[in-house]
Amino acid sequence: MIFYGTKGSLIDSKRTTAIECDTCKQITSHTVSVYGKYGYLYWIPVFPMSKKVFSECNHCKATNEFSGMNEKLRRASIDIKKETKTPIWYWSGLGIIAILVAIGYYYSAQHDKDVVNYIKEPLAGDVIRFKNKNTNYYSTLKISSVTKDSIFVIQNNYETDKKSGISDIDKSKNYTTEPFGLGRNEIQEMFDKNIFYDINR
């Protein structure tokens, strides 16, 4: 379940110069408070949505939303609202998402480089992921041993219809077939033809 919604917080409060209060008719200062509203995901602020202002008479404590203020108080509130900057932490969720995307991109790029090296210098225990062109199912081969000219692999006993399901079948107990050999050039050819698409160490 995804937890999301909106929430508000006080950003800043400032006093105005002397302005007549419509409630007590006193000419006095008013405290104008600016509240921000933001959207959150799992209680982490993701982006700002709006800002609202409220005033409080410092003599009688009467409060007003923007629509209930007199013209002079409205102008003062607009100025205070413009001067009040949206807190950076209102964007913290987007910042976290951007960092996670950057980390994911880095590790993906690094893995692509590693795959090139793994193909050139395979080791026993490496797992090759492939797609069966006849069934359109996915499975794996585990390298059992490596010689100068050949690579011996054991095929997984199971297949899955989704790439994401590979990790579910990649278990030691599922490799029980007899090893068979592939030439080193064959491994590269299989990757070039996109039959083999990944190798993990």
Q: Are 162 and 136 in contact (CB under 8 A)?
A: no
Q: Length of the chain in residues, anyone?
A: 201
In the numeric block, which tokens belong to residue 83?
A: 């001067």
**Closest by Cα among 127, 126, 129 to 139:** 129
For the chain of 201 residues, list the mean pLDDT of each consecutive stretch of 10: 87 96 96 96 92 97 96 96 95 93 91 90 95 90 93 95 92 94 90 91 90
pLDDT-above-70 percentage for the chain: 99
**Closest by Cα among 159, 153, 156, 196 to 172:** 156
**Rounded to two decimals, what is the model's pTM?**
0.59
pLDDT digits (tens, 9 = 90+) for 97-156: 999 999 999 988 998 899 989 998 999 999 999 998 888 899 999 999 999 889 999 999
